[in-house]
């Protein structure tokens, strides 16, 4: 009988330890996925062209700086288009106040897929360049 009591005591101890280990399972903390990064803003390219070298480069640089300032101010406001963030990007070209260079510059801006052009400074450059912009459906504004 003593042996039975001893066996029962061992059994009870093992059972107690077994049940103690069967308590509530610790579940791993749920993995919380990091929020996806915000989508990259849509880049909209604006072209500007004017004489940045030569005798009237100071006038071309003034125009370029004015366009750059306007773009910086617009970007600072946080533009959206169709609910998407937009970042304006300036592409500036030197037309050297030369009609031949101006048409080459105009084609470069068209190829770069600008949505509009501010420039050219001189009418002798603006007129032939405007033909290229018109054919590409790109608006141009010139002072």
Render pLDDT for 108-125 as a digit per residue (tens, 0 to 9): 999 999 999 999 999 999
The three-state (H, E, C) secondary structure of the chain, written as one string: CHHHHHHHHHHHHHHHHHHHHCCCCCCCCCCCCCCCCCCCCEEEEEEEEECCCCCCHHHHHHHHHHHHHHHHHHHHCCCEECCEEEEEEEEEEECCCCHHHHHHHHHHHHHCCCCEEEECCCHHHHHHHHHHHHHHCCCEECC
Domains parsed from the chain with CATH numbers: 42-141 (3.40.50.2300)
Taking only the tens place, the pLDDT of each residue in 18-46 is 444 555 566 777 777 888 888 889 999 99
pTM, entire model: 0.73
Nearest of 142, 136, 44, 23 to residue 89 by alpha carbon? 44
Q: What is the pLDDT of residue 33?
A: 80
With vertex at residue 80, the alpha carbon angle to CA 77 and CA 82, rounded to the nearest 5 degrees, is 165
29 versus 90: the higher-pLDDT residue is: 90
């Amino acid at each position: 009988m003593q042996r039975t009591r001893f066996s029962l005591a061992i059994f009870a101890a093992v059972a107690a330890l077994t049940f103690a280990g069967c308590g509530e399972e610790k579940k791993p903390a749920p993995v919380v996925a990091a929020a996806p990064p915000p989508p990259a803003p849509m880049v909209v390219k604006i072209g500007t062209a004017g004489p940045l070298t030569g005798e009237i480069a100071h006038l071309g640089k003034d125009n370029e700086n004015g366009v750059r300032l306007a773009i910086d101010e617009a970007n600072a406001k946080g533009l959206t288009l169709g609910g998407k963030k937009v970042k304006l990007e300036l592409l500036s070209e030197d037309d050297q106040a030369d009609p031949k260079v101006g048409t080459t510059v105009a084609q470069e801006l068209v190829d770069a897929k600008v949505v509009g052009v501010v420039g050219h400074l001189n009418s002798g450059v603006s007129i032939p360049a405007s033909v290229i912009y018109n054919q590409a459906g790109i608006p141009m504004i010139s002072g």
